[in-house]
Amino acid sequence: MNRRINYFNRLVVLAVGLLILAGGSWAVGLFLDLPPAQRLADFIDFPDWRTAPEQPWFDLLLAGVLVLSAVLGGWLIALNLRRYRVSRVTSPASDAAGTIELNLATLAGAIARELEEHPRVDSVLHSVTRYRNRPTMTITVRARPGADIPALRDTLERVEREFRAATPGITVTTEYRLHLLSLDH
């Protein structure tokens, strides 16, 4: 998720939360017979509100609110469900003669296959996503109990050096996660 969508989500949650908090405070104020809550209820409870459903424009207004809410809700859902996967990155070695593109997912898969051959490694998961406007390759190594952690760490450092040597100038963040499985696995 990029930063703008994250801030927008927080703003929407803040606005909805403040509305719910205000409504809840008003309901508690009505229950406790507080004068400000009673004045607000007196202001809202006037005859035009009671006759609004009988007006000819009321059904059109409800239909408009329904359509607007459906479009806005669908847009928010689509915005948050959008995948931020990175398929290809362009090498800085590209020039007017041609473009060099690398598929990071393929490289991550090759790294995962190499790491799976390490003794005591159960499985390796990989993903390449865009995080904070930067391609990020995540390699998650699931090791069996009793794995030689220093040797595995050395292997991960070697893999990182080889990856950087194979992709000079490519700006990608690499993240290696090491998960140790439980004894009963």
34 lies in some domain: yes
pLDDT at 38: 87
DSSP designation for 52? G
Q: Are residues 64 and 139 in the same domain?
A: no
pLDDT at 129: 82
Q: Are residues 103 and 164 in the same domain?
A: yes
Tokens of 90: 């362009």
Q: Which of 81, 107, 140 is the last residue of a domain?
A: 81
Tokens of 146: 């009793």
pLDDT at 42: 81
Tell me how far apart the alpha carbons of residues 45 and 142 are, in angstroms, rounded to a whole number: 62
Q: Which of 81, 116, 133 is the last residue of a domain?
A: 81
148 lies in some domain: yes
Tell me how far apart the alpha carbons of residues 83 and 131 are, in angstroms, rounded to a whole number: 11
Q: Are residues 66 and 101 in the same domain?
A: no
pLDDT at 83: 63
Give me the domain span that covers residue 155.
88-180
- The segments of the chain whose pLDDT lies below 50 read none
Q: Are residues 71 and 93 in the same domain?
A: no
pLDDT at 60: 93
Helix H or strand E segment including 27: helix 3-31
Q: Which of 64, 81, 98 is the last residue of a domain?
A: 81
Tokens of 167: 């992709």
DSSP designation for 83? -
Please enumerate in sequence order all residues whose Cβ is within 8 A of that of 26, keeping only pairs 6 or more positions apart, or say none: 37, 40, 41
pLDDT at 176: 92
185 lies in some domain: no
